[in-house]
Structure 1
């Protein structure tokens, strides 16, 4: 999608407010016309009242009342126009922000692999705010100042066509200045926005990894790196400001020169009796006002340029189609979670994150309903990739994955994720109460169900010791809770949603031995009656599994029970011996 199409798409958000914009346009004309009548009214009083000696106190009072009436009309209609414009503009951007966030949440995991979280935050917050300024400032300027310019020219020609024609000679000069600065302004703003986005992304990444920074004493290094980003942003920002100031001051100088020329030529015409003093007064007022709307429009040039950049950035996101697509309604299939058995079939699947290198090679694996499967292997063996495909965070490149004989690509994501629950190595907790974190803000799940699930996994007593109990507010990522407590809450979350298939992605990798025992006990509780796939960093986690799948370089190289694999004296036995050696070394 090119920039013009993106801009048209953005304007389509204004369509539901078209009648509001029509009223804004009407109110603008009334307010502008009343404002521009004021100099004309004074010129009439000067030329046909005071100058000819026919004026009286009654006439002056009448003109004063008319003048005040015009001022009142300008105030009332400008107030209505501004309020209606703000309401319409903010409503448009609120809908745009909502649609953008929804679109991002629908993307596949590969999208988040390619896009930094800081850049996406900039899209949702800063870029939409820029578009908000377009509707509330640029549109207002185009309507109000554009109409002002047209009406000012009309009044000038009505008063004196010859002097008005001289003034129109300024238009080519104005167009030349605008054309000269257009590219420089756009480039300056684009460079500034790009550097801001990089700075925001850098801050977001560092905040997310602050524990690592402090653990390795990288505060000085990261601060120095941020200073570099900040210095570059300052440099680009100042470049943008310099260009903008030079652009606007050029118009100020041109406006002052124009007023001086009107005073000179108009004054000579008044002395020669070719022009009345009242008309000269009105002309000076109009020539001053002539540059005011031009100045306002040019001052919105940066906002317009920033809007074009922001629209381009946002619609690049809108143009991204999820790689994992929902099935068509006509071909979609559904599995009743209560009737599902939980059989899983990986049918000779191949998968790669890029087009050049497969990470899974012809995996053929069949899991019985209710079977407890352990998946082991060294880093990069393809363990997480395998379960990510089952959760359909990505799609297979070849082959198929089936649940109870149904290809998961034909299951709507809502139906699939009711069947498949996943507990990750670092469970994510939101800012909110413990109750809301367990039920994930789903009000259909009662408080009693949450408490029962927490009792079941053994985390209830810990929660009861907290001052606010289940209403305790957790900060971002559940800081304040231990890794084991966060993991137990994630098990409780699984219980309340009751998936038929459970995936644990190295859920005990970062736990101490005591906490691991608590989590293992919770695991036995939640896995009962469910098909369970456990990626194990510690082989002790899956020693009692019904079957252990051993992966190496994206292939299944061995499978069987713990005893069977040890008897084979193959790769698993080597991994087991290595893990036992580490344990012995740690004890000694």
Structure 2
């Protein structure tokens, strides 16, 4: 973001809910992006001035031809030819400068919106996970795509209209007063009427646009949610129910759009009526003045042309009113995101510790931590856990025991409410988040693969990681043969989420990522939960290879996954109720032994 926009951000906001800002402040913040393009906008202004001046000279030339030659029967064909040539010349000039003005404005407008879109996506990617817990994904998709596109229309349509049509209006008034001041004053009677109509429509139009945008966000969110869960929808035969719900969202959006259309039609037709009424008034008053020889016929012709052109820019400006209103809504929505500060903050420069990656040992200490996703819900009341460097720890427990919360805290997706988490004796709140995420590697139950080649998915599109390193990593985890069986080998394109691969193949690729990026602390969050026994063995072999020399924390429902861990932590209600090796825990006949017995019964052993 530009510095002016950044400086306007609120200082400390630990809540993920965006802080509301006034429309004026949002408008100023977005317009800060236009400052680097001042020269382009100056060019637009100059081109518009020259192009409009050329346009408005045309009726005046016709007036000269009528009053000074045709009306008095003067047969000076050479002068008429000169006037025609000048008319043609200024038409060409108008075309050239209008072309330049549009190109300059499109370049500046598209550049501004591209910068806003980049900054918005970058800002969203830096927000804490607590923000995404509360904000709907469909709304964010709308912000990045639709809202920024609306702002693009503001710079390329509304702003052009304000410059071109506003300047046209001023110059027309100047020309009309030059022709006849009395008729000009009669024309200006319409201006306060226009102002009153615009004021009366403003709030109604804004509410209509806000309603439409909100309903569009819900519709997009519903579509995204259903596309992601299409397998589940079909498995449970929910097609008709989801179609019914989609129809409700679509109908709601249609109704909002129709309300918006009705408001726009009424608004624009009101101005059409005012324009026609003003034209009738000018023709009547001007015609009477011609009959009484108070003005010439050419003046009436020019005045009629100017009064048509007078209402054309006003109508154009009012037609852009809906885009302007929609832009203000979009600016408010985007600014509300920019105004949101991450709940998890980077350490202050004087407190930050830049721990060299090669010096990391991998010791992890949870020092009497407590945490809750909300102030009323404590997930981990008090946990004191210490993991030695290079130790493999298994973490087990029933759903809701706090296992995944534990690793979210270690990754610093959230900050603890009390206590501290340390890596090699350094509080992770003093480590830059980019450094934490290089130290801590995470393999989740559903590894995320992006659209792109297998090569780029392993190295996560970082071109500085060579193909040789990727191949070596895949060989290390046992994924190389599987990849080479594919038609394109490492260049095989993957669809979103790697839907063309099995769960085990996706996990092997995620293991290869770990080898490439070499984190000192490795976390597996239910990484084998959805695998069959044969595929699980492949992944287990890869785990044995990857975990060597690393501190490894394995979160598992299947106790067989962690039986060979150096130590098993048994969690219940956010507390570590037992810990020890598999044999030690079984010998205690406690909670772990109970979980183990239930697991054996479930597997039929």
Give the TM bin, normalised by the shorter chain.
Answer: over 0.9
1:544 is displaced (CA, Å) by 0.9
1:400 aligns with 2:420: yes
SS at 2:357 equivalent: coil
1:92 aligns with 2:112: yes
1:55 is displaced (CA, Å) by 3.5
1:183 aligns with 2:221: no
1:521 is displaced (CA, Å) by 0.8
Alignment of 1:193-212 (within 5 A): 193-212=213-232
Tell me the number of residue pairs that the alignment of Structure 1 and Structure 2 aligns: 585
SS at 2:530 equivalent: coil
Show structure 2 runs of 5+ residues with no match.
Answer: 1-20
Scaled by the length of structure 2, the TM-score of the pair is 0.96
SS at 1:378 equivalent: coil
Q: CA separation in 1, counterparts of 2:96 and 2:384?
A: 75
1:430 aligns with 2:450: yes
Q: Residue in 1 aligned with 2:176?
A: 156
- Among residues 271, 275, 294, which one is paired with 2:295 in the alignment? 275
- Among residues 309, 314, 327, which one is paired with 1:294 in the alignment? 314
- Among residues 239, 256, 259, which one is paired with 1:236 in the alignment? 256
Question: For the aligned residues, what is the CA RMSD?
Answer: 0.9
Q: Residue in 2 aligned with 1:109?
A: 129
1:54 is displaced (CA, Å) by 2.3
Q: Residue in 2 aligned with 1:125?
A: 145
1:417 is displaced (CA, Å) by 1.3
1:329 is displaced (CA, Å) by 2.2
Scaled by the length of structure 1, the TM-score of the pair is 0.98
Q: Residue in 2 aligned with 1:519?
A: 539
- Among residues 51, 54, 59, which one is paired with 1:39 in the alignment? 59
Q: Residue in 1 aligned with 2:577?
A: 557
- Among residues 483, 491, 499, which one is paired with 2:519 in the alignment? 499
Q: Residue in 2 aligned with 1:48?
A: 68
Residue deviations 1:468-519, cap 9 Å, x none?
1111000000011000110011001101111100000000111111111111
1:456 is displaced (CA, Å) by 1.2
Residue deviations 1:446-484, cap 9 Å, x none?
111111111111111111111111110000000110001
- Among residues 193, 201, 213, which one is paired with 1:173 in the alignment? 193
- Structure 1 segments, 4+ long, off by >3 Å, are none
Q: CA separation in 2, counterparts of 1:492 and 1:446?
A: 14
1:219 is displaced (CA, Å) by 1.0
- Among residues 325, 337, 362, which one is paired with 2:345 in the alignment? 325
Q: Residue in 2 aligned with 1:443?
A: 463
- Among residues 476, 493, 506, which one is paired with 2:496 in the alignment? 476
1:328 is displaced (CA, Å) by 1.9
SS at 1:485 equivalent: helix
Is the deviation greater in 419-428 or in 29-38? 29-38
1:310 is displaced (CA, Å) by 0.2
SS at 1:332 equivalent: coil
SS at 1:338 equivalent: helix
- Among residues 356, 381, 405, which one is paired with 2:401 in the alignment? 381
Q: Residue in 1 aligned with 2:86?
A: 66
1:70 is displaced (CA, Å) by 1.1
- Among residues 347, 354, 357, which one is paired with 1:337 in the alignment? 357
1:280 is displaced (CA, Å) by 0.3
Is the deviation greater in 249-258 or in 226-235? 249-258
Show structure 1 runs of 5+ residues with no match.
Answer: none
1:348 aligns with 2:368: yes
- Among residues 210, 222, 227, which one is paired with 2:242 in the alignment? 222
- Among residues 516, 540, 548, which one is paired with 1:528 in the alignment? 548
Q: CA separation in 2, counterparts of 1:326 and 1:402?
A: 16
